[in-house]
Each structure stands twice: as structure tokens, then as C-alpha cells.
């Protein structure tokens, strides 16, 4: 047993130094890994994986987790102003789900060897990104409808394929996240339906929310394929199953008929159905706006980060209490 352990250790060491030195064993390990990915085998936490695959996953999963956590803020803004007790209970459940998604995703990223503390530090220092969409304000109750309908709708389009991601822990976390996102999307659409069938003023609120959230929702899918620096490699590794533009197109094709059903106008003069391609054509996205938001200069970037930092500081006592409790439990068990 002991010898076998040593043998395994030394062969692992050999593999590692071969990888580090970029020798032919490195190429063999990469080829074997790619073969597993092609065969649709799930890669698990303890399996060998290329460093770049690990880094890509940590980047994407932690960005996804941060998006869920920051994403609680725009809707949280309406918890105390929801128009009825029922609406408040539904919204509260949705915002709590988002906290839960953040936690599953941090756990999935931790399986790759990064600590929660490190990920949170990267968010708070501004090093790590979160989704651009959460840097827009929620000005009226209709924005809560638009977020559920459009933002969660876009999230589902992007995340359902992630249930088939090659990395097992991420793929499995996404199954439950997607089920919950489905409920979120429906509650948003239902708010929009009620408003668009209501008074002229309510209908105008719904239209105004669609006007403000449409283009930022299209930006959620990321840069166009020609500018997406990670897509080609992430698709080869089967982390991503569709390109940014493919998912954006699917979203437009599904969502435009929903807007028509609501009797609302999508704010795009170039939007038209193409019989030949059987897709909607749509206007050019304002990529300057997207880059400004990513650079920290969106309408609410500073507010969102300031609130997150404050919440983190104010929660210090909870983390300390949990650590003290865990220590006490461990001491009791040891005794
Ligand atoms: N916002 O090469 P690309 C939710 C960055 S939360 C900000 O295409 P990739 C919800 C990208 O990170 C939903 N940054 O990258 C919660 C990269 O920068 P770095 C959040 C963006 O990774 C609460 C650079 O641009 N969903 O549903 O191949 C309430 C180049 O892009 C954005 C996820 O996180 C953006 N929109 O593709 C309601 C899904 N787009 O890292 C709802 C998981 C791109 O090189 N993530 N960037 O500095 C993904 O699927 C992919 O990471 C993306 C980007 C499609 C977003």
C-alpha cells in the first residue's frame, strides 16, 4: 500500500514536472483530457485538468456567483415598496433564490481550489467582474417585471446549456439554478402582463421598462463573437455550448413574440422578421455603452459596489460568530 502510494506520488510528480516543462507528456495529458471532453465525460474536481481550463472556470463561475449576489440589489430596492403582500412575498422568495444561487456557485468554484475569501476579495477590490446588467437602476415597479421577464429570460437562455458544461460541479449546480430561474422569468412576465392589461398609465410604465431594459439585456450575452476572446477555447472545452451571438439571437427570437403578446413595442427600428433565415434581424448594440459599464462607469456601478462593501463589513460579526461556533463544535467533538 505504502509503496503503491509512493509510486503514485512519484508518477504524479513526474507528470507535473513534465507539464511544467512542456514536454511530450504534457501534450499527451492534454490530448487525453480533450478526448474525455469530446466523449462528453464530466470532468470532476479531483481529475487532472489543464491550468487554463481551471482558470477559465474559476473566472466564469466566480463572475456568475458575483452576478447573483450583486443582482439581489436592483430588485431588493423594491422589497419594501412592492404593491401588495403577495407581490412582496414572491419578490422576497426570488431575491433569496439569487442569494442561494450565489452560494451554490461559490461552492462549485471552491472545488477548483480557489477560496471563498479570495473570490469575495476579488469582487470587493473591483478585480473580478459581475454581469453588466446589474448596473442599471430600477426606477418603477415595472422594472421588477422587466428584470424577471428579460434578465431572467436571458439568464435561462445562457444557463440551460451550462447544465451540459463539461465541468461536473458547475453543470450540476446549474440544474437547480435553471429551475428556479424559470419561476423568476414567469413571475416577471406575469407582472408585465398585468401592467400591460391595466390602465394607460400602467401600460406606459411597462413600455418604459421595456425601453430601458431591452438593450442592456442583449448586452448580457457578452461581446459579439468576433470580439469574444474566450469563446473559441471555452467551446472547444465544452464549457460553453453556444457562442454569445447564437444565444443572443435565440433570445431575440423567443422574446419578440412575447412582447407582441403583451402589446408592447421592442425599442428597435431595425427589428424585422427574416423569412429566409427564420430569425429576427435586429439593430446594432451600443458596444461603447457595454464597455463603459464594464469599466465601472455604468449608471449604478459605484452604488452597487459601495452597498456590497458595506454589507460585507456589516456582516463581519456573523462570519466571526459562525467561525467561533464551528471551533466550539470541533473542540467538543475532539473532547
Ligand atoms: N457583463 O470572451 P467573452 C442572473 C466579460 S446572473 C460583464 O465573451 P466569456 C441573475 C467576460 O467576463 C447571470 N462582463 O467571455 C441574478 C470577459 O472578461 P474577462 C450572470 C462581461 O466568459 C440576479 C470579457 O467580457 N450569468 O441570472 O467566454 C437577478 C470578454 O467576454 C459580460 C453568468 O455569469 C457581461 N454581460 O463569455 C436576476 C453566466 N459579458 O473575464 C438574474 C455565466 C462578457 O476576460 N457566464 N463579459 O476580464 C457566461 O456564460 C460567460 O462568462 C459570458 C461571457 C457569456 C457572460
**What's the confidence (pLDDT) of residue 24?**
55
Determine which residue's CA is closest to atom 54 belonging to ligand 1. Answer: 222
User: Which ligand 1 atom sits closest to the C-alpha of 148?
Assistant: 38
- What pLDDT is stored for residue 8 in this prediction? 36
Which of 53, 63, 65 to probe ligand 1 with, by most ligand atoms within 8 A of CB?
A: 63
Is 70:308 a contact under the CB 8 Å cutoff? yes
Ramachandran angles phi, psi of 276, nearest 5°: -70, -45
Longest Cα pair distance anywhere in the chain, in angstroms? 80
Residue nearest to atom 15 of ligand 1 (CA): 230
Beta bridge partners of 274: 279
Q: Give me ligand 1 centre to Cα 123, in Å.
A: 14
Asked if 205 and 194 touch (Cβ cutoff 8 Å), the reply is no
Please tell me the distance from the alpha carbon of residue 94 to that of residue 283, in angstroms, as a whole number.
Answer: 32
Q: Which atom of ligand 1 is nearest to the CA of 67?
A: 6
DSSP states of 168-225: HHHHHHHHHHHHHHHHHHHHHHHHHHHHHTS-HHHHHHHHHHHHHHHHHHHHTT-S-T
d(CA 75, CA 95): 7
- C-alpha distances in angstroms, 123 versus 31, 38, 290? 34, 33, 19
Q: Whose CA is nearest to atom 41 of ligand 1?
A: 59
d(CA 121, CA 227): 28
Angstrom distances, CA of residue 90 to CA of 144, 205, 327: 11, 20, 37
Task: Please give the pLDDT value at position 25.
Answer: 57
User: Which residues, judged by CB distance below 6 Å to any ligand atom, belong to the binding site of ligand 1?
Assistant: 59-60, 63-64, 67-68, 71, 98, 129, 131-132, 151-152, 155, 158, 219-223, 228-231, 234, 240, 244, 294
pLDDT at 18: 45
User: What CA–CA distance (Å, rounded) separates 303 from 24?
Assistant: 51
- Tell me how far apart the alpha carbons of residues 248 and 280 are, in angstroms, rounded to a whole number: 11
Q: Cα(325) to centroid of ligand 1, in Å? A: 36
Please identify, by atom number, the ligand 1 atom nearest to the C-alpha of residue 152.
42
Contacting residues for 275 by C-beta, under 8 A, at least 6 apart: none
Number of Cβ within a 10 Å radius of residue 1: 5
**β-pair partners for 167:** 43
How many A from CA of 64 to the centre of ligand 1? 7
Residue of the nearest CA to atom 34 in ligand 1? 64
Closest residue by Cα to atom 50, ligand 1, is 158
Distance 321 CA to ligand 1 centre (A): 34
Sign of CA dihedral 303, 213, 239, 244: negative
pLDDT at 5: 32
The residue to mutate among 72, 131, 171, having the most atoms of ligand 1 within 8 angstroms of its beta carbon, is: 131
Q: Which residue's C-alpha comes closest to atom 26 of ligand 1?
A: 64
DSSP strands (E only) in the chain: 272-274, 279-281
Q: Which residues of 13-32 are buried (b: 16+ CB within 10 A; e: fewer)?
A: eeeeebbeeeeeebeebbee
Q: What is the pLDDT of residue 19?
A: 47
SS3 of 265, please? coil
d(CA 219, CA 109): 24
Written as tens digits, the pLDDT of the chain (335 aa) is 223 333 333 444 444 544 444 455 589 999 999 999 999 999 999 999 999 999 999 999 999 999 999 999 999 999 999 999 999 999 999 999 999 999 999 999 999 999 999 999 999 999 999 999 999 999 999 999 999 999 999 999 999 999 999 999 999 999 999 999 999 999 999 999 999 999 999 999 999 999 999 999 999 999 999 999 999 999 999 999 999 999 999 999 999 999 999 999 999 999 999 999 999 999 999 999 999 999 999 999 999 999 999 999 999 999 999 999 999 999 999 99
Residue 64 alpha carbon, nearest atom of ligand 1: 34
The x, y and z cell numbers of residue 156, run together, are 435561462
What is the per-residue pLDDT for 332?
A: 96
Residue nearest to atom 27 of ligand 1 (CA): 155
- Which among 175, 197, 194, 198 has a CA at the least distance from the CA of 186? 194
In the numeric block, the cell 472545488 is attached to 111
Amino acid at each position: 500500500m505504502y509503496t503503491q502510494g509512493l509510486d503514485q506520488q512519484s508518477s504524479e510528480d513526474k507528470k507535473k514536472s513534465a507539464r511544467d516543462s512542456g514536454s511530450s507528456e504534457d501534450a499527451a495529458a492534454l490530448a487525453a483530457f480533450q478526448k474525455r471532453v469530446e466523449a462528453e465525460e464530466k470532468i470532476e474536481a479531483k481529475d487532472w485538468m489543464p491550468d487554463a481550463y481551471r482558470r477559465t472556470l474559476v473566472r466564469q463561475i466566480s463572475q456568475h456567483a458575483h452576478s447573483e449576489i450583486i443582482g439581489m440589489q436592483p430588485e431588493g430596492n423594491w422589497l419594501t415598496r412592492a404593491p401588495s403582500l403577495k407581490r412582496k412575498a414572491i419578490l422576497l422568495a426570488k431575491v433569496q433564490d439569487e442569494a442561494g444561487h450565489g452560494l451554490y456557485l461559490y461552492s462549485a468554484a471552491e472545488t477548483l481550489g480557489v477560496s471563498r475569501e479570495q473570490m469575495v476579495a476579488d469582487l470587493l477590490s473591483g478585480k473580478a467582474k459581475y454581469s453588466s446588467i446589474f448596473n442599471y437602476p430600477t426606477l418603477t415597479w415595472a422594472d421588477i417585471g422587466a428584470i424577471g421577464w428579460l434578465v431572467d429570460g436571458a439568464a435561462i437562455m445562457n444557463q440551460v446549456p451550462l447544465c451540459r458544461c463539461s465541468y461536473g460541479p458547475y453543470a450540476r449546480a446549474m440544474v437547480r439554478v435553471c429551475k428556479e430561474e424559470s419561476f423568476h422569468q414567469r413571475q416577471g412576465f406575469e407582472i408585465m402582463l398585468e401592467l400591460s392589461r391595466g390602465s394607460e398609465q400602467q401600460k406606459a410604465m411597462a413600455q418604459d421598462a421595456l425601453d430601458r431594459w431591452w438593450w442592456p439585456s442583449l448586452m448580457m450575452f457578452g461581446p459579439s463573437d468576433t470580439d469574444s476572446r474566450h469563446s473559441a477555447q471555452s467551446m472547444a472545452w465544452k464549457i460553453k455550448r453556444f457562442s454569445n451571438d447564437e444565444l443572443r439571437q435565440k433570445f431575440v427570437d423567443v422574446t419578440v413574440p412575447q412582447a407582441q403578446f403583451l402589446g408592447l413595442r421592442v425599442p428597435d427600428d431595425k427589428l424585422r422578421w427574416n423569412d429566409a433565415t427564420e430569425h429576427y434581424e435586429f439593430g446594432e448594440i451600443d458596444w461603447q455603452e457595454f464597455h463603459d459599464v464594464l469599466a465601472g462607469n455604468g449608471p449604478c456601478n459605484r452604488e452597487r459596489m459601495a452597498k456590497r462593501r458595506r454589507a460585507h463589513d456589516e456582516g463581519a460579526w456573523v462570519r466571526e460568530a459562525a467561525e467561533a461556533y464551528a471551533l466550539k463544535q470541533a473542540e467538543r467533538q475532539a473532547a
